[in-house]
C-alpha cells in the first residue's frame, strides 16, 4: 500500500494518483496514515458480530448442556432459534440507514453499542430459553447498526489508495469473531454446568470493546459533513488524516473538489435518497441488480448449510464426536480468515471481477465433489468416503472467502453514489438476511428430510452465480468513489463531471486547479477514444 505510480493507478486511476505524494515513502512512514489505518483496523472488529454468532451457534449445538437448557430444539424450532438473530437485523437495518444518513455514521454505531450490551447481558444471564431467544434478537439489532454504518465510515475516511483494500478487509473480521467463538465453545465443552454456554455468550461483547478506543478517535465521514454543509470541518478531517495537516496539499484540494462536485451534481440532478430512486435510471437499476444478486449468492451458495449446521453436516458423513466437530469448526474459521484476508489484499492487484469468477468456479467444483461424496457415503456407509468430505468443505470455503467475504460489503458500498449508499447497503442486508432467515429455517428441515440430496440445490445456484458474475459484475478498480459513475452511467456522466469540475476549480489554487483540469481532460478523452463503457468486457 505504498505510493508507487502503478499501484496508485490500479487503486484510484491516473488523475487522483497524480496528486499523491511522490516521495516514495510507504504509508507506515507517515504518522497520520499509521493512525488512520489503526483506527480502520479497530473498525474492522465490528464485523465480528455476525461471525461470532454463526460459530457460537455451531458450537453450542455440540454441547449437551445447551441442548438441555433449550429443551433439545430440532427441525423448525432449531431453525427459528438460529434465525431470530437475523430477524433483529432485518428489523433494524432500515432504521440504521436513516440514522446514518440523517444524524451521522458514528451516532448509528453508538446505538449499536447499546443493543449489544443489553443483548449480551441478557443472553449470558438468561434464566430460560425465551430470554436466550430475545437476547439473540437484540444482538441481531446491534449487528444491523454496525454492519450498515461502519463500512460507510471505512470507505469514506480511508486514504484513497487504501480504500479498496481496507474496505475489503472489513468483513474478514467476521472470521475473527468465528475463531473466538469456536475457541470459547471448545474450551468450555467440559464444564459441568451452564457456564459451558454462558462464557461463550459473554465473550460476544469482547471485540466491540476492543474496537471502542479506535472508534472513539475515528472522525465522522467527510462526505456526510459536506452533504450537511460542514465544509471546513470536512476539509480539516481530510487534511489531518490524508495529508498530515497540510491544508494546501494538492491531494486535499483534489479530494474536496471531487467530493463537493459529486454531491452537488447529485443534488442538481435531483437525486433523492429514497428507495424509489434506486430504480429510476439505467445505471441505478444495474447497481440494484448487482446488489440484490450478490446478497442472494452470498447466502444461497451452500455456505448457510455449513455455517449454521456444520454439526448436522458432519453427523451426516459419520463424524459425530463433539470434540472432533468443534476442532473442525475451529480449523475452518482459521482457514477462512487466512483466505479472506489474502483476497482482500488482492482486490487492486487482481481486480474485483477476477476474484468473483475464481470464487464462483472454485465453489462450484468443490460443492459438486461434496455432493457426490456425501451421496456415496449415504449408500455405502464407508467412513473414509465420509471423512473425504471435510477437505472439500475447506476448498469450498476457500472459494467463498476469495470474493463473497471481502467484497459483499466493499463492492456494494463503492458502486452506489453518495445519496443512495446507505440505501444500497440496507437493500443488500435486507436481501441477504431474508435469504439467511429462509436458509436457517429451512436447512435443518431439508437436511433431516433428504440429507445430502439437498446439496444439489446449491450446485444449481453456483452455476447461476458463475454466469451472473461473468455477464453483469464490472471491474471497479482504478476509480474513486466519486468516479464510479463512469462505469454505470458511461461517458456522458464523465463529461458532465468534467464540466462541473472545471466550473468549481475556483475553490482550489489556480495552479493546482489547472493541473487537475488538464489531467482530467486528458484521461477522459483517452478513455472515450479507447473503449466503450457500455461493454462489460471493456470495463
pLDDT tens-digit map of 413-437: 999 998 899 999 999 999 998 887 7
Q: Which band of pLDDT confidence, cut at 50, 70 and 90, is reported for residue 304? A: low
C-alpha torsion angle, residues 103, 104, 106, 112 (rounded to 10): 50
Q: Which band of pLDDT confidence, cut at 50, 70 and 90, is reported for residue 538? A: very low
* Mean pLDDT (whole number) for 17-35: 85
What pLDDT was estimated at residue 185?
83
Distance of CA 398 to the CA centre of its chain: 16
Least confident of 122-136, 200-214, 253-267: 253-267
- Let me know if 539 is exposed, middle or buried by CB neighbors in 10 A (0-12, 13-18, 19+): middle
Question: What ranges do the domains of the chain cover?
Answer: 31-226+272-481
Average pLDDT over the chain reads: 82
What pTM value is reported for the model? 0.81
* Mean pLDDT (whole number) for 308-322: 64
Residues 6+ apart with CB under 8 A from 89: 140, 141, 143, 144, 147, 429, 433
Residue 508 has pLDDT above 60, yes or no: no
Q: Are 257 and 501 in contact (CB under 8 A)?
A: yes
- Let me know if 309 is exposed, middle or buried by CB neighbors in 10 A (0-12, 13-18, 19+): buried
Q: Are 172 and 337 in contact (CB under 8 A)?
A: yes
CA distances to 111, 340, 343 from 424, rounded to whole Å, are 20, 23, 23
Q: Which band of pLDDT confidence, cut at 50, 70 and 90, is reported for residue 527? A: very low
From the list 183, 212, 174, 184, the residue with the least C-alpha distance to 48 is 174
Q: Which band of pLDDT confidence, cut at 50, 70 and 90, is reported for residue 354? A: very high
* Mean pLDDT (whole number) for 280-303: 91
Most confidently modeled of 4-8, 67-71, 367-371, 531-535? 67-71
Among residues of the chain, what percentage have pLDDT more than 70? 82
What pLDDT was estimated at residue 536?
30
What pLDDT was estimated at residue 24?
76
- DSSP 8-state code for residue 270: T
Size (the chain), residues: 539
Q: Which band of pLDDT confidence, cut at 50, 70 and 90, is reported for residue 8? A: low
Residue 501 has pLDDT above 70, yes or no: no
What pLDDT was estimated at residue 311?
63
What pLDDT was estimated at residue 343?
94
**Architecture category of domain 31-226+272-481 in CATH:** Up-down Bundle (1.20)
CB burial readout 459-498, b (16+ within 10 A) else e: bebbeebbebbeeebbbbbbbbbbbbbbbbbbbebbebbb
What pLDDT was estimated at residue 476?
92
What pLDDT was estimated at residue 18?
81
- DSSP 8-state code for residue 416: S
Amino acid at each position: 500500500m505504498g505510493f508507487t505510480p502503478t499501484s496508485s493507478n490500479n487503486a484510484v486511476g491516473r488523475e487522483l494518483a497524480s496528486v499523491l505524494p511522490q516521495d516514495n515513502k510507504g504509508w507506515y512512514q507517515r504518522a497520520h496514515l499509521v493512525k488512520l489505518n489503526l483506527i480502520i483496523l479497530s473498525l474492522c472488529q465490528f464485523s465480528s458480530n455476525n461471525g461470532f454468532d454463526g460459530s457460537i451457534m455451531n458450537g453450542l449445538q455440540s454441547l449437551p448442556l445447551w441442548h438441555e437448557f433449550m429443551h433439545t430444539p430440532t427441525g423448525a424450532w432449531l431453525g427459528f432459534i438460529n434465525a431470530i438473530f437475523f430477524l433483529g437485523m432485518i428489523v433494524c437495518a432500515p432504521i440504521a440507514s436513516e440514522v446514518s444518513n440523517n444524524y451521522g455514521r458514528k451516532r448509528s454505531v453508538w446505538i449499536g453499542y447499546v443493543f449489544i450490551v443489553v443483548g449480551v447481558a441478557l443472553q449470558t444471564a438468561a434464566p430460560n430459553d425465551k430470554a436466550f431467544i430475545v437476547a439473540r434478537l437484540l444482538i441481531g439489532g446491534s449487528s444491523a447498526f454496525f454492519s450498515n454504518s461502519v463500512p460507510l465510515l471505512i470507505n469514506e475516511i480511508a486514504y484513497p489508495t487504501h480504500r479498496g483494500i481496507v474496505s475489503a478487509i472489513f468483513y474478514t473480521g467476521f472470521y475473527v469473531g468465528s475463531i473466538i467463538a469456536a475457541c470459547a465453545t471448545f474450551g468450555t465443552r467440559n464444564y459441568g454446568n451452564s457456564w459451558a454456554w454462558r462464557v461463550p455468550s459473554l465473550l460476544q461483547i469482547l471485540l466491540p470493546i476492543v474496537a471502542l478506543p479506535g472508534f472513539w478517535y475515528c472522525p465522522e465521514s467527510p462526505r456526510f459533513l459536506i452533504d450537511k454543509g460542514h465544509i471546513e470541518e470536512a476539509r480539516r478531517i481530510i487534511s489531518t488524516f490524508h495529508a498530515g495537516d497540510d491544508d494546501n496539499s494538492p491531494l486535499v484540494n483534489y479530494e474536496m473538489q471531487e467530493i463537493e462536485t459529486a454531491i452537488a451534481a447529485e443534488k442538481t440532478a435531483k437525486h433523492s435518497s429514497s428507495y424509489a430512486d434506486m430504480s429510476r435510471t439505467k445505471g441505478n437499476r444495474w447497481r440494484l441488480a448487482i446488489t440484490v444478486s450478490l446478497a442472494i449468492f452470498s447466502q444461497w451458495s451452500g455456505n448457510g448449510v455449513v455455517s449454521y449446521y456444520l454439526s448436522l453436516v458432519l453427523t451426516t458423513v459419520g463424524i459425530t464426536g463433539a470434540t472432533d466437530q468443534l476442532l473442525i469448526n475451529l480449523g475452518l474459521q482459521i482457514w477462512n480468515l487466512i483466505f479472506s484476508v489474502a483476497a482482500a489484499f488482492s482486490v487492486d492487484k487482481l481486480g474485483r471481477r477476477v476474484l468473483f469468477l475464481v470464487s464462483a468456479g472454485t465453489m462450484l467444483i468443490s460443492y459438486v465433489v461434496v455432493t457426490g461424496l456425501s451421496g456415496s457415503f449415504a449408500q455405502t456407509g464407508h467412513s473414509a468416503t465420509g471423512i473425504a468430505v471435510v477437505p472439500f468443505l475447506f476448498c469450498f470455503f476457500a472459494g467463498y472467502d476469495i470474493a463473497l467475504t471481502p467484497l459483499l460489503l466493499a463492492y456494494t458500498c463503492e458502486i452506489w453514489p453518495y445519496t443512495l449508499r446507505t440505501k444500497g447497503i440496507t437493500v443488500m442486508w435486507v436481501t441477504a438476511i431474508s435469504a439467511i432467515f429462509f436458509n436457517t429455517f429451512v436447512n435443518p428441515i431439508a437436511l433431516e428430510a433428504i440429507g445430502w440430496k439437498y446439496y444439489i440445490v446449491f450446485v444449481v445456484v453456483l452455476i447461476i452465480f458463475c454466469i451472473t458474475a461473468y455477464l453483469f459484475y464490472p471491474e471497479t478498480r482504478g476509480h474513486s468513489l466519486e468516479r464510479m459513475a463512469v462505469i454505470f452511467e458511461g461517458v456522458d456522466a464523465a463529461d458532465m463531471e468534467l464540466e462541473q469540475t472545471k466550473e468549481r476549480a475556483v475553490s482550489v489554487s489556480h495552479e493546482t486547479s489547472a493541473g487537475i483540469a488538464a489531467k482530467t481532460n486528458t484521461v477522459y478523452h483517452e478513455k472515450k477514444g479507447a473503449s466503450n463503457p457500455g461493454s462489460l468486457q471493456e470495463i
